[in-house]
Structure 1
Amino acid sequence: MLKTLSSKFALTTLLLMLGSLLLGFFFTNTYYHQVIKAPNDQKNVEIAEAMVAYIADAQVDNLDDYFTMLGETGYQLYIVKEGGAPVFYGGAFRDTTLEATTVADVLAGNIYHGMRDFPRETFVMGFFANELVNTIGIPFTYEDEQYALFMRPNIKLLFSEVHRILGALMLAMFILSLIGVIVLAQTIISPIKKLTRATRAIAHENYEAPLEIERVDEIGQLANSFQRMTDQLQENDAMRKTFVSNVSHDFQSPLLNIQGYATLLAQPNLTDEERAEYGEIIEIETKRLSNLTKQLLVLTTLDSSTRKPKRELFDLTAQLKETVRKYRWQMEEHHIEFSYTMPEVHYKGEAGLLQNIWDNIIANAIKYSEDGAQITLTVEETATAIIVTVEDTGIGMDKEALAHVFDRFYRADASRTKHGTGLGLPIVKQVVEKHDGTVVISSEQGVGTTVKVTLPKL
């Protein structure tokens, strides 16, 4: 009994497809040589002429950098300098054979139409032939020296033309296969239409549209996967809306610091040193605020598997002391007793990323501590790691909140009396893990919270 689409299609269309495949290749190849080849050659001549014209117009300083850039944007290039060694750029050619007379002819000032003159073969289209002879050759002059540029688009740039060619091939196959598969196609079209309607509903944020597809073949599996995707999208959408409604907290912290120190600056009995110090902090926080939009992309950056921290040796103790100094006014405002033990420690990591850790941990300790609480910061250095511990006697967390503390957008305070985005600790966790470290949080409601960050030495 046929239950899978592959077996149904195989039995019904195999013979028809084999016959139509031969006809389709012949038709498509003919279409390319009769209709596409000459315009394609001319189009690439214009592209090559634009490349060499830019060299003179833009006064290119470094020819190698220019052609490297063109190669990276999707072109295969072969550059020959009169009397010099040839150089390739971009994707590799399958066949690099090219007559010396052809190169000499281009160096003499003629255009080489390799695409137009590429020989016709029954089952091989010149359009796809990744050979050096299947290029456009253009002469140009740079710093009074004669060059020849041979180019063709990399296959990655040929999608639009490929679709036309494959469309012609599929049309020939479809005409011969249509009668044999029309009944089977109807059984496939119906669930696909349902999926299309469900997709449109999701585009309008309607996640409740019924799918009603009960099958055991690949379409049924697709429907099940689609339903799971819909459920996940609904959950993500809810979390995203929560994030948007609370994102102002990311701007509130520097604004509060600016406001607090601006208030202190207004006091008439300040010394010049105090005024300079407060002004410096306001300047720091203003810069931080101007860059805060970029910091919202930190998680996206950290999510990249290829993103590695820039390992540079810096004064970790100084960074921690500066962070504490930024938040000192908040501690004084709430009568929070702060103490620390910080030996001189240097660490090899990305200081900008690590700053996110200390900002989030210390800000959270203050935010979730009542007046008169205590916060202790301890830095330990072992032979293999640096351990930073922040302990507070604040309100703490229950077990449920502690279990979700690193979940993005999660907020234990459903009433939102404590402003936040639910992104701080997830950022802490990812920054620590990017540095191959660990972060452990222990907490007891009504007693306090301890955050322990371990950063291994290199």
Structure 2
Amino acid sequence: MHLERSIQGPPPAVSRHLETIEREIANFSELLTDILTIGKIDVGRISFHPEPVDLVALTNRVIETHFADRKDNRVVDVLIEGEPERVSVDQKLISHVLVNLLSNAFKFSQSNPKLLIRFGAQVVISVIDQGIGIPAEEQAHLFQTFFRAKNVVNIHGSGLGLVIVREFVELHGGTIRIDSVEHEGTTVTFTLLKG
């Protein structure tokens, strides 16, 4: 009997506890990483190495690496407007921006998030969800360290992600804007300079 149990793995109750522990370790690790990143930003020690990059290919790699095998089978719907071209970015930093914004879109919505990349005089990237949205009176505080809207207190997060995202976008000479309607969804749009 004991040999049979060890081959089958731990009992369901133990498996649930192990999954909870694993999830909490990941959450703590993410928080620690964010705090260290904020510290580096504050002292001007973020490594920034832009190079010409195929932004569509980079986006596809980010999606494949971080969002391809979701348990809920949701996917990122990618839309491209204009003629794709190489853009000078730091791949690590822009990957972080995309992962954060898409993770938020999945976290705060039940539908597939959309990622729209528009190539024109500048590159405009929007992450769109049809989720819980952000209360209007709280939107002015979204880029404050540790701020979390009142409607997300029961959803995991540190209140640091958007602060880091804004810093990384601005390091590239870009801008970021959030448009949201509570109970309807959120669109986060950021720009990147070409060349």
- What is the TM-score with the length of structure 2 in the denominator? 0.75
Gaps in structure 1 of 5+ consecutive residues:
1-245, 253-291
CA shift, 1:416, in A, is 3.1
8 Å Cα contact 1:374-1:392 kept in structure 2? yes
CA shift, 1:336, in A, is 3.9
Q: Is 1:327–2:67 an aligned residue pair?
A: yes
Q: Is 1:393–2:130 an aligned residue pair?
A: yes
Q: Summarize the Cα distance change of 1:248–1:400 in structure 2 as closer, same or farther, 3 Å threshold.
A: farther
CA shift, 1:382, in A, is 1.3
- The corresponding residue for 1:364 is 104
Amino acid in structure 2 at the alignment position of 1:444:
V
C-alpha distance in structure 2 between counterparts of 1:329 and 1:411, whole Å: 28
8 Å Cα contact 1:408-1:422 kept in structure 2? yes
C-alpha distance in structure 1 between counterparts of 2:154 and 2:134, whole Å: 15
- Residue 297 of structure 1 aligns to a residue whose secondary structure is helix
8 Å Cα contact 1:405-1:425 kept in structure 2? yes
Q: Summarize the Cα distance change of 1:294–1:392 in structure 2 as closer, same or farther, 3 Å threshold.
A: closer
Gaps in structure 2 of 5+ consecutive residues:
1-23
- The corresponding residue for 1:444 is 181
Of residues 311, 334, 339, the one that matches 2:50 is 311
C-alpha distance in structure 2 between counterparts of 1:408 and 1:247, whole Å: 22
Q: Summarize the Cα distance change of 1:424–1:250 in structure 2 as closer, same or farther, 3 Å threshold.
A: farther
8 Å Cα contact 1:317-1:344 kept in structure 2? yes
Q: Summarize the Cα distance change of 1:418–1:316 in structure 2 as closer, same or farther, 3 Å threshold.
A: same
8 Å Cα contact 2:108-2:132 kept in structure 1? yes
C-alpha distance in structure 1 between counterparts of 2:95 and 2:150, whole Å: 25
1:338-395 Cα shifts (integer Å, max 9, x gaps)? 421136442212111111110110000000002xx24211111113x21111111111
Q: Is 1:420–2:157 an aligned residue pair?
A: yes
Q: Summarize the Cα distance change of 1:415–1:434 in structure 2 as closer, same or farther, 3 Å threshold.
A: closer
C-alpha distance in structure 2 between counterparts of 1:456 and 1:250, whole Å: 34
8 Å Cα contact 2:105-2:113 kept in structure 1? yes
1:264-317 Cα shifts (integer Å, max 9, x gaps)? xxxxxxxxxxxxxxxxxxxxxxxxxxxx96564222222234757212122221
Q: Highest Rg: 1 or 2?
A: 1
Q: Is 1:453–2:186 an aligned residue pair?
A: no
- Residue 69 of structure 2 aligns to a residue whose secondary structure is helix
Deviating above 6 A after TM superposition, structure 1's stretches of 4 or more consecutive aligned residues are none
Aligned ranges 1:107-186 → 2 under 5 Å: none
Aligned residues: 169
C-alpha distance in structure 1 between counterparts of 2:186 and 2:153, whole Å: 19
Of residues 422, 430, 433, the one that matches 2:167 is 430
8 Å Cα contact 2:34-2:160 kept in structure 1? no
C-alpha distance in structure 2 between counterparts of 1:247 and 1:296, whole Å: 15
Q: Is 1:339–2:77 an aligned residue pair?
A: yes
- The corresponding residue for 2:89 is 349
Of residues 113, 137, 159, the one that matches 1:375 is 113
8 Å Cα contact 1:308-1:434 kept in structure 2? no
Q: Percent same amino acid among aligned pairs? A: 29
C-alpha distance in structure 2 between counterparts of 1:363 and 1:449, whole Å: 13
Q: Summarize the Cα distance change of 1:415–1:301 in structure 2 as closer, same or farther, 3 Å threshold.
A: closer
1:230-261 Cα shifts (integer Å, max 9, x gaps)? xxxxxxxxxxxxxxxx9953647xxxxxxxxx
Q: Summarize the Cα distance change of 1:327–1:456 in structure 2 as closer, same or farther, 3 Å threshold.
A: same
Higher strand share: 2
- Residue 319 of structure 1 aligns to a residue whose secondary structure is helix
1:20-60 Cα shifts (integer Å, max 9, x gaps)? xxxxxxxxxxxxxxxxxxxxxxxxxxxxxxxxxxxxxxxxx
C-alpha distance in structure 1 between counterparts of 2:194 and 2:41, whole Å: 20
Amino acid in structure 1 at the alignment position of 2:143:
F
C-alpha distance in structure 1 between counterparts of 2:90 and 2:153, whole Å: 33
8 Å Cα contact 1:302-1:431 kept in structure 2? no
Higher helix share: 1
- More relative contact order in 1 or in 2 (CA 8 Å, sep 6+)? 2
8 Å Cα contact 1:440-1:452 kept in structure 2? yes
- The corresponding residue for 1:90 is none
- The corresponding residue for 1:198 is none
CA shift, 1:413, in A, is 4.0
- Residue 428 of structure 1 aligns to a residue whose secondary structure is helix
- The corresponding residue for 1:152 is none
